[in-house]
């Protein structure tokens, strides 16, 4: 029974990249894990101990195993955030796609509780004298540990914090940091972090009620439309426009006034972290702005534009506040299900809004894109690259042996993105003489691309595959005639190293909105756009990670 409880920790020793190659780290992890496992045994009788461990440890063990399997890391912010943001349809799809895994887990649970109630007596683990010795030793050990970490924080951190309370806070943070990779503490610490983050967002959103960018409404001589399309899990290297070996963008390749940027990275490799940084002036270092300032949509609203939010995605707490300020909104009834709902289903909604609008428009369109399961993102006629998965594709399919199948299904989803964007451009050309559009993905994807064998996204180890994103600018002939200099700079800047931070500033400037909140160094339609050598990107645990743009040359 103790072995069953220790399975997640053994899996961490074998598969976690955090411990790979570090004998001292593995030894320390093993010792601390065993101490945490046996600590409750000092205070409780055997049967009570195993009941408590069964409820608070074994029940959440599948989360740790899944994180190690998918990300080669212990449970962190990304994993818990994904679980808490999963709706019932997604949860049912996941569970039904893992029958073998579910059966094994169920059998282990049954065996554990059968042994517990059949064989375990309700008696103490240790004789009274040994128990008293442990009870005396524990607070002494804790005191020594606290003194060690207190001294370590005093040596590690700068002398800016001299107050005792600040030093104690630093000590607490360091202890948490050291223990946040040890099961089951990692699951509970990550859950606390996600819940706290959601509560902070709700509180800060309330404080934005009276916030204003102080943008004066733009004088409307001619109706204009600007569109921001946020893709999902698309990566730069799989677009035919960018030199990919497969022609995954046959329609966009033949469409006039379409510019594909070559060196754009997202500011975060996880949707929940990336979207707020796309929609606001926040960046990976100054994330607080996402909660203390309003969004690009609300900036356009101040400028007198009719605003719309059309989404095929689940709406987060953060997005819900923004959507409530829009003039129009539409959300597909279900997300990421086996139901045949595709991005193209949003085109009639977009068309109806453009058809009845008498003002300039700003739209945010959030697509399903290439969200896993890839083969559910396109109809059967777009299954061009084979062999691919049929409806049998599930989370057990995520193995390096299936890399070819995964890549084929993924490329088919990119092919469908090409169809959606081309259809959107056609509709804009029909409805709007003067329009411009930026398409970018929230993040990319790992598909067993190199010796690291990483798959999906949101990893703690930021890879070029999950941060190098497609960034496409399109515009009408009417826009080109009205803003020839802007178009000239948009084309000239297409090979500069930039991040998704440019979205807020570029869209406002492309609309020729006059305001002092725009930074010229972040505008793709200005010759002052800064060419970066490196940047910071939030990993799956919301930690800023330095990224050098020379890494993109690998692709």
pLDDT tens digits, residue range 114-132? 999 999 988 888 888 887 8
Local confidence band at 159 (pLDDT 50, 70, 90 cut-offs): very low
Domain positions in the chain are 2-200, 224-554
Which of 73-87, 168-182, 317-331 is the most confident on average? 317-331
Distance CA 343, CA 370 (A): 10
CA distance 147 to 238: 52
DSSP collapsed to 3 states, 196-235:
HHHHHHHHHHHCCCCCCCCCCCCCCCCCCEEEEEEECCCC
| Radius of gyration of the CA atoms of the chain, in A | 26
What's the DSSP call for residue 366?
A: E
Helices (H), 17-122: 23-38, 46-56, 61-71, 77-84, 88-96, 99-119
pLDDT of 485 reads: 98
Q: pTM value?
A: 0.71
Sequence-separated (6 or more) residues with CB below 8 Å from residue 172: none
pLDDT of residue 315: 78
Other beta carbons within 10 angstroms of residue 145's beta carbon come to 12
Task: Classify residue 221 by burial, with Cβ atoms within 10 Å: 0-12, 13-18, 19+.
Answer: exposed
Q: What is the mean pLDDT of residues 502-509?
A: 98
3-class SS of residue 326 = coil
The helix-helix angle for 61-71 and 77-84 (nearest 10°) equals 120
Report d(CA 363, CA 358) in Å as an integer.
14
Give mean pLDDT, residues 289-308. Answer: 94
Give tens-digit pLDDT for 444-488: 999 988 888 888 888 888 999 999 999 999 999 999 999 999 999
Residue 496 clears pLDDT 60, i.e. is over it: yes
| Sign of the CA dihedral running 316, 317, 319, 325 | positive
Average pLDDT, the chain: 87
Q: Is the pLDDT of residue 415 over 90?
A: yes
Q: Is 174 helix (H, G, I), strand (E, B) or coil?
A: helix
CA dihedral 114→191→333→98, nearest 10 degrees, is -40
Q: What is the pLDDT of residue 334?
A: 42
Residue 335 in this model has a pLDDT that exceeds 50: no
Q: How far is CA 489 from the centre of its chain?
A: 31
CB 198 within 8 A of CB 24: no
The pLDDT of residue 351 is above 80: yes
Per the CB < 8 A criterion, the answer to whether 325 and 307 are in contact is yes
CB atoms within 10 A of CB 155: 7
Whole-number pLDDT of residue 150: 76
User: CATH for 224-554?
Assistant: 3.40.720.10
Nearest-10 crossing angle of helices 99-119, 2-15: 140
Q: Three-class SS of residue 499? A: strand
Tell me the C-alpha distance between 225 and 207, whole Å.
Answer: 30
Angle at 375 between CA 363 and CA 194, to 5 degrees: 60
């Amino acid at each position: 029974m103790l072995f069953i409880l220790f399975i997640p920790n053994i899996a961490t020793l074998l598969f976690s990249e955090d411990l790979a190659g570090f004998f001292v780290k593995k030894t320390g992890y093993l010792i601390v894990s065993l101490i945490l496992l046996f600590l409750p045994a000092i205070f409780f009788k055997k049967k009570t101990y195993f009941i408590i461990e069964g409820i608070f440890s074994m029940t959440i063990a599948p989360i740790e195993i899944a994180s190690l399997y998918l990300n080669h890391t212990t449970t962190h912010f990304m994993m818990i955030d994904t679980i808490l943001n999963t709706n019932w349809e997604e949860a049912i799809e996941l569970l039904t796609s893992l029958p073998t895994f579910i059966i094994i887990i169920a059998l282990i649970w049954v065996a554990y509780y059968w042994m517990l109630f059949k064989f375990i007596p309700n008696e103490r683990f240790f004789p009274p004298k040994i128990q008293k010795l442990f009870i005396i030793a524990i607070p002494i050990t804790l005191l020594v540990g606290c003194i060690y970490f207190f001294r370590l924080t005093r040596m590690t951190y700068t002398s800016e914090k001299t107050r005792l309370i600040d030093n104690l806070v630093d000590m607490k943070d360091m202890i948490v940091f050291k223990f946040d990779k040890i099961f089951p503490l990692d699951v509970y610490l990550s859950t606390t972090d996600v819940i706290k983050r959601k509560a902070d967002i709700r509180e800060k959103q309330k404080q934005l009620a009276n916030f204003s960018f102080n943008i004066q409404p733009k004088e409307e001589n001619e109706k204009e439309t600007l569109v921001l399309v946020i893709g999902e899990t698309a990566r730069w290297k799989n677009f035919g426009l960018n030199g990919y070996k497969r022609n995954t963008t046959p329609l966009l390749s033949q469409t006039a006034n379409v510019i594909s940027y070559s060196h754009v990275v997202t500011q975060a490799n996880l949707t929940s972290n990336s979207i707020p940084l796309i929609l606001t002036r926040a960046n990976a270092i100054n994330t607080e702005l996402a909660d203390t300032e309003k969004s690009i949509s609300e900036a356009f609203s101040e400028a007198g534009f009719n605003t719309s939010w059309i989404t095929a995605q689940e709406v987060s707490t953060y997005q819900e506040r923004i959507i409530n300020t829009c003039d129009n909104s539409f959300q597909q009834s279900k997300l990421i299900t086996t139901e045949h709902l595709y991005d193209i289903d949003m085109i009639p909604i977009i068309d109806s809004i453009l058809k009845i609008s008498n003002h300039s428009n700003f739209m945010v369109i959030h697509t399903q894109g290439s969200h896993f399961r890839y083969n559910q993102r396109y109809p059967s006629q777009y299954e061009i690259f084979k062999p691919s998965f049929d409806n049998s594709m599930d989370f057990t399919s995520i193995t390096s042996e299936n890399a070819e199948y995964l890549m084929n299904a993924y490329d088919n989803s990119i092919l469908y993105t090409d169809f959606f964007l081309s259809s959107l451009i056609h509709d804009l050309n029909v409805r709007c003489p003067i329009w411009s559009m930026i398409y970018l993905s929230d993040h990319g994807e790992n598909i067993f691309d190199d010796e690291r064998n990483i798959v999906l996204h949101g990893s703690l180890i930021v890879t070029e595959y999950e941060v190098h994103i497609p960034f496409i600018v399109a515009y009408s002939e009417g826009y080109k005639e009205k803003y020839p200099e802007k178009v000239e700079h948009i084309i000239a800047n297409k090979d500069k190293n930039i991040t998704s931070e440019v979205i807020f500033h570029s869209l406002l400037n492309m609309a020729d909105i006059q305001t002092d909140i725009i930074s010229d160094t972040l505008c793709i339609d200005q010759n002052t756009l800064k060419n970066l050598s490196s940047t910071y990107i939030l990993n799956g645990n919301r930690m800023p990670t330095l990224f050098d743009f020379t890494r993109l040359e690998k692709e």
